[in-house]
Amino acid sequence: MKGALLVAGTTSDAGKSVVTAGICRWLARQGVRVAPFKAQNMSLNSFVTADGAEIGRAQATQAAACGIEPTADMNPVLLKPGSDRRSQVVVLGRAIADVDAMEYGAFKARLRAVAVESLERLRAEYDVVICEGAGSPAEINLRAGDIANMGLAQAARLPVIVVGDIDRGGVFASLYGTVALLDAADQALIAGFLINKFRGAPELLAPGLDMLHGLTGRETYGVLPWLDGLWLDVEDSLALDNRPAQPYRPHSLRVAVVRLPRISNFTDIDALASEPGIVVRFVRSAAELEDADLVIIPGSRATVSDLGWVRETGIAQAVQERAAAGRPVLGICGGYQMLARTIHDDIESRKGHIDGLGLLPATVRFTAEKTLARPVGTAYGHRVAAYEIHHGVVTVDTATPSRPFLDGCRSGSVWGTTWHGALENDAFRQAFLADVAATAGRPFTPAPGISFAEFRAARLDALGDLIEQHVDTGAILDLIENGPPRDLPLIHPGGAR
Ligand SMILES: NC(=O)CC[C@H](N)C(=O)O
């Protein structure tokens, strides 16, 4: 079979990434040569491909669902917001500009061609490409310049399914309204719907689906049940904030991750979810650090401004007191930079010389050039493969004694590294956690035989199962191969007359 499909959504966080990953996994299991694609992604979770290109983390995970190596073509445009107004624009894996929304408009026409070419290359290489939209296709103010939703679907003649999140409520209005707000040509590509995050009684939903069909002439291809505890690296930070706090148990290792305003690559923490007996909480206040065995300051897209927030919230002082008391703290990339003595930044914040928290003997200097790398090293006697994404270059001050830790250092109970993904390495993670537990005085021993790769594969399989069990897969295959049904009715938007 050969073809493609675009998975759009009524809102951000409707579940497009998860559905795309699920369809990819299900197709790959059928022996189909399939690849994921997202023309334009806005995310602070990114990944470095084998050839050193930066792409959205979700596309890397979807590639894993397909059983293939991620490439820059799978996410040709990545926007990384550094403030409410400005984003770094990454094109085919390289940061090319830092722009506001108006300036970005000027790039768009060029980027549509880039995205369409990437998709064409993927379609030449793979039999099926499952494309993920961005936000909602019914952002009518942005339709003219769109490259990720209907603009892409038109350019590449893609059939489209729209995913709606029933847990938010208003799912019928948003599905109907999404179609009705589009012009006739766009409507002709919208084949039907998927309902996501359903946890009610199917018999109560059924009449609504019939009515939706009557109103739109379009099928609902499936109703996906709510899946608890899917802590997936395909999620964005919106989903992160909806995560309920887990209870601490007496023997659990308690990890508090500082929820920085511009948190990036929080998927680093994901590997901890594979360890039984670890409870991870994202925290915003100093008080919440108190009972944690390990505090992690994760990556940040805006190190200096997030460091300002860390000081304002009192978290800085709490972390300094912890370190003085010999309690564990780990800084990763932006978090590591914050733990340094000084930061020189004329690039990201343009704030010049800033004092860090001074918990590690290190100095940070921001450079215009972005480091994108896939380093391999050793720690605790185990091999560690990781990835790096940063402008700030940290130099460890050898005049002050500290111990090496990955590419960074350890001083007392404070560890710092620029490396993302290190915790995915099983033997290293377990040795590090055992050290943390011993330092914190917590009777926690990592369970033997845990494999993050297997844990991740099992989760991707669960998504494949979700599609297999709850979606009319025959109809999806038909869409992929033959495009949208030809007789789809036009919904007159109505409007005031
Ligand atoms: N990945 C990160 O945490 C990046 C840290 C910082 N924003 C830099 O670019 O250096």
Question: Would you say the CB of residue 197 lies under 6 angstroms from ligand 1?
Answer: no
Question: Would you say the CB of residue 391 lies under 6 angstroms from ligand 1?
Answer: yes
Question: Would you say the CB of residue 348 lies under 6 angstroms from ligand 1?
Answer: yes
The minimum-distance atom of ligand 1 relative to the CA of 364 is 10
Single-letter code of the amino acid located at 60: A
Give percent helix, percent strand, percent coil of the chain, each to the nearest 5.
Answer: 35, 30, 35
Say if residues 295 and 281 touch (Cβ distance below 8 Å).
Answer: no
Token readout for 152 is 């892409």
Question: Would you say the CB of residue 265 lies under 6 angstroms from ligand 1?
Answer: yes
Token readout for 99 is 């722009």
> Ligand 1: which residue has its CA nearest to atom 5?
334
Predicted local distance difference test score (pLDDT) of residue 105: 83
The residue from 24, 131, 333, 409 that is catalytic is 333
Q: How many angstroms is it from 423 CA to the middle of ligand 1?
A: 18
User: Rg of the Cα trace of the chain?
Assistant: 23
User: What string of pLDDT tens digits covers the 497 residues of the chain?
Assistant: 899 999 999 998 899 999 999 999 999 999 999 999 999 999 999 999 999 999 999 999 999 999 999 999 999 999 999 888 999 999 999 999 999 988 888 888 789 999 999 999 999 999 999 999 999 999 999 999 999 999 999 999 999 999 999 999 999 999 999 999 999 999 999 999 999 999 988 899 999 999 999 999 999 999 999 887 665 555 555 556 666 667 777 789 999 999 999 999 988 888 887 898 999 899 999 999 999 999 999 999 999 999 999 999 999 999 999 999 999 999 999 999 999 999 999 999 999 999 999 999 999 999 999 999 999 999 999 999 999 999 999 999 999 999 999 999 999 999 999 999 999 999 999 999 999 999 999 999 999 899 999 999 999 999 999 999 999 999 999 999 999 999 899 998 766 66
CA distances from 387 to 43, 139, 377, 402, 418 (A): 17, 35, 11, 23, 9
Question: φ, ψ for residue 373 (rounded to 5)?
Answer: -150, 165
Question: 3-231+457-482, what's its fold?
Answer: Rossmann fold (3.40.50)
Q: Which of 262, 391, 394, 418 to mutate to test the pocket of ligand 1 (most atoms within 8 A of CB)?
A: 391
Predicted local distance difference test score (pLDDT) of residue 317: 98
Predicted local distance difference test score (pLDDT) of residue 255: 95
Is 382 an active-site residue?
no
> What dihedral angle (degrees, nearest 10) is formed by the CA atoms of 134, 470, 233, 277?
150
The minimum-distance atom of ligand 1 relative to the CA of 332 is 3
Say if residues 90 and 59 touch (Cβ distance below 8 Å).
Answer: no
Question: Would you say the CB of residue 235 lies under 6 angstroms from ligand 1?
Answer: no
Residue with tokens 């369409």: 116
Q: What's the rounded Cα separation, in Å, for the pair 167 and 245?
A: 19
Q: What is the CATH number of domain 252-443?
A: 3.40.50.880
Question: Would you say the CB of residue 56 lies under 6 angstroms from ligand 1?
Answer: no
Domains 3-231+457-482 and 252-443 share a fold: yes
Question: φ, ψ for residue 309 (rounded to 5)?
Answer: -65, -40
The residue from 390, 391, 420, 470 that is catalytic is 420
Predicted local distance difference test score (pLDDT) of residue 237: 52
Question: Would you say the CB of residue 95 lies under 6 angstroms from ligand 1?
Answer: no
Burial 362-375, CB ≥16 within 10 A → b, else e: bbbebeeebebebb
> Ligand 1: which residue has its CA nearest to atom 4?
390
For residue 308, what are the contacts with CB-CB under 8 A and spacing of at least 6? none
CA distances from 44 to 242, 320, 334 (A): 17, 27, 12
Q: How many angstroms is it from 407 CA to the middle of ligand 1?
A: 15
Chain mean position to CA 176 = 28
Question: Would you say the CB of residue 392 lies under 6 angstroms from ligand 1?
Answer: yes
Question: Would you say the CB of residue 301 lies under 6 angstroms from ligand 1?
Answer: yes
Is 420 an active-site residue?
yes
How would you class 250 by CB atoms within 10 Å of its CB: exposed for 0-12, middle for 13-18, buried for 19 or more?
exposed
Q: What's the rounded Cα separation, in Å, for the pair 153 and 189?
A: 8
Single-letter code of the amino acid located at 447: A
The minimum-distance atom of ligand 1 relative to the CA of 420 is 1
Q: What's the rounded Cα separation, in Å, for the pair 41 and 59?
A: 9
In three-state secondary structure terms, 279 is: strand
Q: What's the rounded Cα separation, in Å, for the pair 374 and 48?
A: 7
Q: How many angstroms is it from 334 CA to the middle of ligand 1?
A: 5
Q: Which of 54, 86, 264 to mutate to test the pocket of ligand 1 (most atoms within 8 A of CB)?
A: 264
* Domain parsing of the chain, residue ranges: 3-231+457-482, 252-443
Single-letter code of the amino acid located at 389: I
Q: How many angstroms is it from 392 CA to the middle of ligand 1?
A: 6
